[in-house]
Amino acid sequence: MNRIARLVVRDMWVMNRGLLVIQFVLPLFLLFVASFPLSALIAPFSVDGLAVTYQRFIAVGLVAQTTMTGSLVGGTLLFTDRRHGMFEQILVGPFAKSTYAASKIFSSMLIGLLGAALVALFGLPFTYGAAVTIPGAAAALAAVVLGAVVFSGFSIILASLFKSLEAFEGTFNLLFILLTFVSSTLYPLASVPPALRDFMLLNPLTYVVDLTRAGMLGLSSPYVWWEGPVLAVEAAVVFALALASIRRISLSGT
């Protein structure tokens, strides 16, 4: 087996299963519990001339949101490796730092994408009736994959900076909430006050959500045209930074 693949397989075995389950709690709760009363409150609305129910609206948004959560969990893999000495141990084994770094990004992406796939499976019934086209689905998939790169890289950069588990987990939880609620996952950009919208438009999750919705439901917004290219550039930049941040972790401790 390829070296990166071996490291990814190991990650899948050692990862914190508890965290993994927790990442599904919010999306599945919103999907199967909260979306019913909320849909009763929120009448089907129209985005860009297309009518959409709230349930369908958030079902797609939550797939993108799960990609983020899952990928963020990836950073804990690096953190625990460092904490328990396996980071160094692996690096005195047959692995280069760059191999290790790449494997961590892939593992994080894999967790994010598998999570997204699972939520998509549950969310599918809610999208029944949407006219999905192949190019649309491909665009949505591309957005989710790019999102996985961005958030994986981001969590790895974060994990490489923190020394204490408490600080890392605290920041992680805060980010998770902030990124979820200051994004277009739960409400359309058009419906929020301009000040909040500006913040939402800084959040890469908004791009992933918007692009996924555009691809799957044909819901467009005035922003999707630049969100795609910006997401792609962000993915490239964050990927490079994540590789570099693992490379610069010092191995000089005794």
Partner 1 sequence: MYAIEALSLAKSYGKGEAVSDVSLKVGKGAVFGFLGPNGAGKTTTIRMLTTLIQPSRGDARVLGFDLRSHGPEIRPHIGVVLQGESYEYSKSVEQALDLYGMLWDIPRRTREERAETLLDEFGLEEHRKKLVQHLSLGLRRRLQVAREFIHDAELLFLDEPTVGLDPIARKGTMKMIREKVSRGLTVFLTTQLLDEAETLCDRVAVIFGGKIISEGTPRELKDTYGGVRLVEVLVGSGDPGLLASRMLGTRSVSGAVTDPDGRVRVWTSDPSGTFSAILGAGEDLGLELGSVTVREPNLEQAFINLIQKQGGTD
Ligand X SMILES: Nc1ncnc2c1ncn2[C@@H]1O[C@H](COP(=O)(O)OP(=O)(O)OP(=O)(O)O)[C@@H](O)[C@H]1O
Nearer to partner 1, 84 or 226 (CB): 84
Please tell me whether residue 249 binds partner 1 under the rule CB under 8 A: no
Nearer to partner 1, 39 or 80 (CB): 80
CB 91, min distance to partner 1, A: 7
3-class SS letters over 143-164? HHHHHHHHHHHHHHHHHHHCCC
CB 93, min distance to partner 1, A: 6
**Residue 93 binding partner per list ligand X, partner 1, none, with a CB distance cut-off of 5 to 8 Å that depends on partner kind:** partner 1
Q: Which residues 13-52 are close enough to bind partner 1 by CB under 8 A?
A: 13-14, 16
Nearer to ligand X, 2 or 254 (CB): 254
71 alpha carbon, distance to own chain's centre: 5
The angle at the Cα of 100, spanning 228 to 235, to the nearest 5 degrees, equals 10
Q: Which residues 91-110 are close enough to bind partner 1 by CB under 8 A?
A: 91-96
Adjacent-strand bridge partners of 51: 46
Among 12-20, 39-47, 96-104, 246-254, the segment contacting ligand X (CB under 6 A)? 246-254
CB 243, min distance to partner 1, A: 17
Answer for which of 37, 129, 193, 253 binds ligand X (CB under 6 A) is 253
Please tell me whether residue 248 binds ligand X under the rule CB under 6 A: no
CB 99, min distance to ligand X, A: 24
